[in-house]
Amino acid sequence: MAQIELKAITKAFGETEVLKGVDLSISEGEFVTLVGPSGCGKSTLLRILAGLEAASSGQVVIGGADMTHIRPADRNLAMVFQSYALYPHLTVAENMMTPLKMRDLSRGQRLPIIGPMMARARYRELMNSVREAAETLKIEPLLGRKPGQLSGGQRQRAALGRALVRNPVAFLMDEPLSNLDAALRVHMRTELAELHRRLGTTFVYVTHDQAEALTMSDRMAVMREGRILQVGPPEEIYNDPQSVEVAEFVGSPPINLLPGEVNSSGQVTLLDEVLGQVERRHAGPVLIGMRPETLVLAPRGLEAQVKHRENLGSDIFLHLKTTSIERRMLVRVSPGTPAQIGDRVHLAIDFEKVMVFGQTGDRLPFAARVLEKIA
Ligand SMILES: Nc1ncnc2c1ncn2[C@@H]1O[C@H](COP(=O)(O)OP(=O)(O)O)[C@@H](O)[C@H]1O
Ligand SMILES: [Mg+2]
């Protein structure tokens, strides 16, 4: 059974519909990413799950119970914000203890006032929870420091620690890495993924960065204009996108999209080369999608000229212009490649990896051409 279920969620701010019917089921312990361009409704969806925003219609189910109208504090979800929101005058330990104290306070309204002895015992209990969380996050040495004495990454971990002590059903994170510099952001991806494995708690993670989604999640939900376009494991989203929007959104450098043609017998051609077959009813113009690794330099094949050579150390991206009809494309090659700017090269296409998109942007079922044996 799904632990978290978002059912037919819609949200309008005045006249503007920002969520247009979102369904998503999340299993216990899953790391699910909501990813999409800025303004597509990711934060709104997360806030609806957290209870910080009310949906216009639809249902939020957590652990089998309808939580749609339950206040945030009673959903036992931990929200980690981008801005960390740590109290500057409190130490990391005190910051981490705050949610537990707040919980005590709200329960205290229904309990008799506790005496100083009890308070000390309770403090030790809270401190134990804090130490345990600090150990998990490897921030014990920071417990006595104030936020001003921490680096960006350490502040990030302190904020996570504060969420962790509450032992929540799930962690909800909204672009938690966007304030960090590039190197730290990449490092924190690994840390968060490891933390998730250690904790085994559900993570719902919002980002506009497809690389974060690809590297960390068990499943990613690609959003656009208030809808989820496709949900699946990163490999599936990358290798098997169901629409041109999803294909374009994931992958860096982006997928090559070139105008192709389907003839009346369903044959797919690109620059006069036959790539394979789709159903005949799709005859007409199509878009041919090829990831930068779908094209390889070969002794013969499509002819192109090297326009730019982008050296990334481990890989080189060649920016090419085909010679017959001018089309720009980008291929990934190994660092040893002799191809230099201005050179003419030939490209072989890995037909099995070609994607064909129809006029509405939907992916068309495609049977790749079987290569004749080269004698
Ligand atoms: N409180 C609000 N009032 C009016 N419009 C809002 C409000 N919050 C968000 N929006 C609009 O809803 C859309 C989705 O916003 P948001 O969920 O923050 O997107 P994302 O997190 O994907 O960038 C945006 O167009 C935004 O301007
Ligand atoms: Mg947002």
40 lines ligand 1 (CB under 6 A): yes
Contact indicator for 50, 72 with CB cutoff of 8 Å? yes
Pocket test for ligand 1, best of 11, 33, 43 (most atoms within 8 A of CB): 43
Report the C-alpha gap between 235 and 130 in whole angstroms: 37
**Residue whose pair of structure tokens reads 């209870």 in the numeric block:** 51
**Closest by Cα among 363, 51, 44 to 225:** 44
- Using CA positions, which residue lies closest to atom 20 of ligand 1? 39
81 lines ligand 1 (CB under 6 A): no
Burial of 205 (0-12, 13-18, 19+ CB in 10 A): buried
Q: Is 34 helix (H, G, I), strand (E, B) or coil?
A: strand
- Which of 128-137, 175-184, 212-221 shows the lowest mean pLDDT across its residues? 175-184
Pocket test for ligand 1, best of 11, 13, 34, 207 (most atoms within 8 A of CB): 13
Burial of 247 (0-12, 13-18, 19+ CB in 10 A): buried
Q: Is 83 helix (H, G, I), strand (E, B) or coil?
A: coil
**Reduced to 3 DSSP states, what percent helix, strand and coil does the chain have, rounded to the nearest 5?**
30, 35, 35
pLDDT tens, position by position, 32-54: 999 999 999 999 999 999 999 99
How many other CB atoms sit within 10 Å of the CB of residue 152?
A: 15
Q: Which domains does the chain carry?
A: 4-245 (3.40.50.300), 254-368 (2.40.50.140)
Report the C-alpha gap between 67 and 127 in whole angstroms: 31
109 lines ligand 1 (CB under 6 A): no
Q: Is 43 helix (H, G, I), strand (E, B) or coil?
A: helix
- Which of 14-18, 68-72, 189-193, 358-362 shows the lowest mean pLDDT across its residues? 189-193
Question: What is the distance in A from the centroid of ligand 1 to the CA of 44?
Answer: 6
* pLDDT band, residue 355 (cuts 50/70/90): very high
- Which residues are CB-neighbours of 344 under 8 A, at least 6 positions away? 303, 304, 305, 306, 323
* pTM tops 0.75, yes or no: yes
**Closest by Cα among 105, 90, 5, 99 to 55:** 5
Contact indicator for 143, 92 with CB cutoff of 8 Å? yes
pLDDT tens, position by position, 226-236: 999 999 999 99
39 lines ligand 1 (CB under 6 A): yes
pLDDT tens, position by position, 292-314: 999 999 999 889 999 999 999 99
- Using CA positions, which residue lies closest to atom 5 of ligand 1? 13
Helices (H), the chain: 42-50, 92-108, 116-137, 152-164, 182-199, 210-216, 234-239, 244-249
